[in-house]
Structures are given as structure tokens and as C-alpha cells.
Amino acid sequence: MITNRYDNGRSGSNTQETVLNASNVNQAQFGLLYSFTVDAQLYAQPLYLSNLKFADGTTKNTLFAATERNTVYAFDADGGSTTPVWSKNLGPSGSTSIFGCGDMTPETGITSTPVIDTAAGIMFVVSKGVEGGNWVMRLHALDIRTGQEGQGSPLAITATVNGTGTGSVGGKVAFNPETQLNRPGLLIEGGIVYLAFASLCDYGPYHGWILGYSYANGAFTQTRVFNISPNGSEGGIWQSGVGLASDGNSIYFAAGNGSTNPLSTPPDVSESVARVSLADLSIQDFFTPAGYAAMNSGDSDLSSGAVLLPHNRVMTGTKGGRIYWLDSTNLSKYNAAGDKNLQTLTPPNGGVWGGPVYYQAPGGPEWVYLWPVNSPLIGYQMDATTYLLKTPPTQQTVATPAHPGGILTVSSNGTAGSGVLWASTPQADSWHTTAAGTLYAFDASDITKLLWSSEQNTTRDALGDFAKFTPPVVVDGRVFMATFSNAIRVYGLLN
């Protein structure tokens, strides 16, 4: 588990979970085992490596976590001790009071999910903070066994492109570490580490950026620079924390509100799903909804990641409660007379923030699950011939959580009864505030069956404060759940 949502397609699916299943995840056999305490809120998804050998000769299943106080931790994932194996602070965080909303309080530091290069033994992390009165963002290369900075690390993040857009000076648009925020999980593809940016609370001026860095011979080199709106504004890549997706040939992303212009050269792909080349980040294809102007004015923009699914499918969602089902080989660009994408679906009630997850029951149908705001949990069955989504969806009505709905993970191992759909939800609206959370487990082959909930025995299993957009991490018989209670809760089989 070395990257956001298990893989570079961001499927949210662990297909090698051999311990937990639909039979033993129940109130009698499953519950909270222990917790790891950290120094601040956790927006970044935890990462996990099995059988990591340390310098002292010990071998541990290791959990990594990163906080908004710019601290990275490594823990013995099996709970032999709740004291960190190591921890490393990457510099001061920054107060969020200037940004004008409660989305992230009281500080911003490490927000995106880091990524691990297992061959090199390096974790790449992006930090943000204030030093000497100035905002700075840095890319770090940390040794996964010690937490120490690698040679030539960290590197201050800078970039410049030609353009006359917002914040430009003399025909140049420069990256602004104060107004930009790295929310999507980091991506490694072809030896390049990719970072994507939007803003915090629409505090501007800002643009959507993708930056790529190589790290070799003890030095970072910026090799890729892309700006969505160099002659316009905004187009931030938030994606509810879902990482940039890649199929090994291209990068896919979903951008939010901005100065959308699908007819310009190159197109301004704010309010769009886009595919860019790994070679130079040039736009290869895109989908801009025909109603993008109304989406921009109504703040109903694309709010989920561009998740890659089998059969060349891409799914994303909007704040306005639409799901776009796309062909990754032909995103369909822009058609003023009406969208030409494969399907546009309207789920019950609310917007889509958490990304979809994919599950195929052994010998059975393929499913795509998501949990929109103020909506039941829903599952769309994929047609076995056309790979279109069948309607109406199957629904699980145990709860209809407020913003941002449910954040999902599915675990299985290819055998009957092994599939479990996990969901983290808020118990109250968490748009600009903190709310308590609930962790759920459902039978992935039939989501109408609730297997377990952290609310069934709150004395033992209470989750704590909901971590917005952060999915459960299910691996090796454990469920690791980040929280805003400055802790990671660890669930598993009791006794």
C-alpha cells in the first residue's frame, strides 16, 4: 500500500486481503485493537509496507502517517508498540486563519498522500508552512527506514509558465506557495514524481498545476510543468484528495471551477476531465460538459478524482450531483449541443466527493460503488457486454451522511465471501467544521447486508473525529483509519 487508493488507477480496491472477509467481520469477532497518537489532524491517507527491514536488523509491518503539523511517522503496524519507530518533522506548518474558511483548521502542513518508491527505499512528501514570514512548499525525499532527508532534499517548489492570467507579471505566471495547495495524492510513473495543485478555500490568485520531478544522484530535477489556465484563472485540481491517475501512458485528472475555454489553443480545461501525455504533459484528450458555464456560476464543479476502471472506463462526479461515465480512449471533448460521453447519471440526492471503488464478485457481476452526500450508499452493476452502468442502482439505506458522504475501500481475495466494502462517514456535516465519524463494513457482493459498524459498540469501537476524504486502509487483516482526533484507529479480529 504505497500510494493513494492502492494503485495508480485509484481503484480503491485491495484484491489480496486474505484475513478479513464477510464471515468474520462482525460485532463479536471484529473491533478496535489499538490506536497510534500523532501531533495533528490527518488529511493524508496512511501508507503501509509489509516486512520492512530496519537498520537494527528488525523486520516490521510498517504504517506511515503524515500530519498537518508537517510530521511524518513510521509505526509498527502490528501494534507491538504504539511508540513510533521513527518520526520526522519537516518544518513549521502555517496558520489557516488567513484563508477565510473552516475547511482546514487550525493549520496546514502535509495534506496530500505521500508516495513510496520501494526500490529506492524513499518516501516522497510535500510540506507547506510559513518560515520567516514567507509561505513555502517543499518536496522531500525521506528514507523509509530512518525518516532522514535524502541528499539534495528538500527542494522548494517553484515553477513558471508563459501567460497573462491572474497573478501574472510581465507575461509570466509563477507558482505561488501561499495560494496553492497540494491536495491530490502523489503519483510515481516512469521514475517521475507528479504533484497536482489547487488552492485552500478558493484563496487566490491560483491555478491548476501539475509538476513532475525526477530524483537521482542525490538531486531533484523539475522535468514537467503544466498549468491549466495560464491565460485565465483557477482550474484547481482538488479531486477530494484522490491522486492523479495513470495507465502507464497518460495522466488523467479532473479540474474544478475556472476560466474554462475548450475552444482555445491549447484548451483551458478547467471544469473538465483531461488526459495529458507523460512525455510533456501536453493535453491529448478531454471532456468538458456542455453546461460548464452554469456549473462554474453555480459552484457545482467536478469534485471527485478521475478514477480509471476496467474496460477503458473513467468515472468522476460533481458537487451538483452528476456522475460522468467516460471512455478513456475517447473522452469526447466538448459539444455545445450536448455531451457525447458514454453516460451521465444522477445519484440520489447529493453531490459526489469521495471517489468510486470497483469490485467484481467471483464468477459474478462487476460493481462500481460510491456514497454521495445525503444519499444512501449505491452500487451500479456494469453491463457485461456494453460496460455501461445499469440503473437504478442498488441502495443501502443504513445512513445518508452529510458532506462529503462516504469515503470507500473494498477488500477481497477472489474467493466467494471474501469481499468487504468499507466506508468512513461523518455523523454531521463536515463542510467547514469537524464532526464525529463512523466506520462501516458491508458485504461487497450484496451491499444491502451490513456486517459491522463502529457505532454498534461505541465503548469499544468509536472512531473519533471523521477525517475528510481519507479512505480506510485495509491490508493484512487490519483496517487503519486516519482521524481528526490526532490518532489512527486500528481495527481487526479480536483475540
Q: How far is CA 444 from CA 230, 263, 322, 369, 451, in A?
A: 44, 43, 23, 9, 10
Distance between CA atoms of residues 108 and 180, nearest Å: 11
Query: At 292, which helix (H) or strand (E)?
Result: helix 292-297
End-to-end CA distance of the chain: 25
SS3 (DSSP) at 461:
helix
Distance between CA atoms of residues 248 and 383, nearest Å: 26
Q: How far is CA 413 from CA 196, 279, 346, 424, in A?
A: 32, 35, 31, 21
Task: Spell out the residues 6+ positions from residue 81 whose beta carbon is closer than 8 angstroms to its own.
Answer: none
Amino acid at 294: A
State how far Cα 288 lies from the chain centre.
22
Distance between CA atoms of residues 19 and 411, nearest Å: 10
Distance between CA atoms of residues 97 and 106, nearest Å: 7
The pLDDT, as a whole number, for residue 78 is 95
Position of cell 513549521?
92
* pLDDT exceeds cutoff 90 at 354: no
* pLDDT exceeds cutoff 90 at 495: no
For residues 395-416, average pLDDT: 95
Distance between CA atoms of residues 331 and 250, nearest Å: 13
Query: At 295, which helix (H) or strand (E)?
Result: helix 292-297
Tens of pLDDT, residue by residue over 68-106, are 999 999 999 999 899 999 999 999 999 999 998 888 999
Tens of pLDDT, residue by residue over 439-458, are 999 999 999 999 999 999 99
Closest CA to 406 of 392, 386, 394, 421: 421
Tens of pLDDT, residue by residue over 204-235, are 999 999 999 999 999 999 999 999 999 999 99
Distance between CA atoms of residues 31 and 462, nearest Å: 9
Q: Read out DSSP for 407-447?
A: EEEEE--SSTT--EEEEEEESS--SSS--BEEEEEEETT-T
228 touches 255 (CB < 8 A) = yes
For residues 380-406, average pLDDT: 96
Task: Spell out the residues 6+ positions from residue 474 whose beta carbon is closer than 8 angstroms to its own.
Answer: 14, 17, 20, 409, 411, 420, 422, 480
239 touches 252 (CB < 8 A) = no
For residues 127-145, average pLDDT: 97
The pLDDT, as a whole number, for residue 329 is 97
344 touches 324 (CB < 8 A) = yes
Distance between CA atoms of residues 109 and 91, nearest Å: 9
Distance between CA atoms of residues 319 and 351, nearest Å: 4
Strands 407-411 and 13-14: parallel
The pLDDT, as a whole number, for residue 348 is 87
Distance between CA atoms of residues 226 and 275, nearest Å: 12
* pLDDT exceeds cutoff 90 at 57: no
* Mean pLDDT, the chain, whole residue set: 96
Cβ neighbourhood burial of 254 (10 Å; 0-12, 13-18, 19+) = buried
Q: 315 forms bridges with which residues in the sheet?
A: 307, 325
The pLDDT, as a whole number, for residue 56 is 83
Cβ neighbourhood burial of 59 (10 Å; 0-12, 13-18, 19+) = exposed
Q: So where are the chain's domains?
A: 1-41+354-468+470-495
Tens of pLDDT, residue by residue over 233-257, are 999 999 999 999 999 999 999 999 9
* pLDDT exceeds cutoff 90 at 178: yes
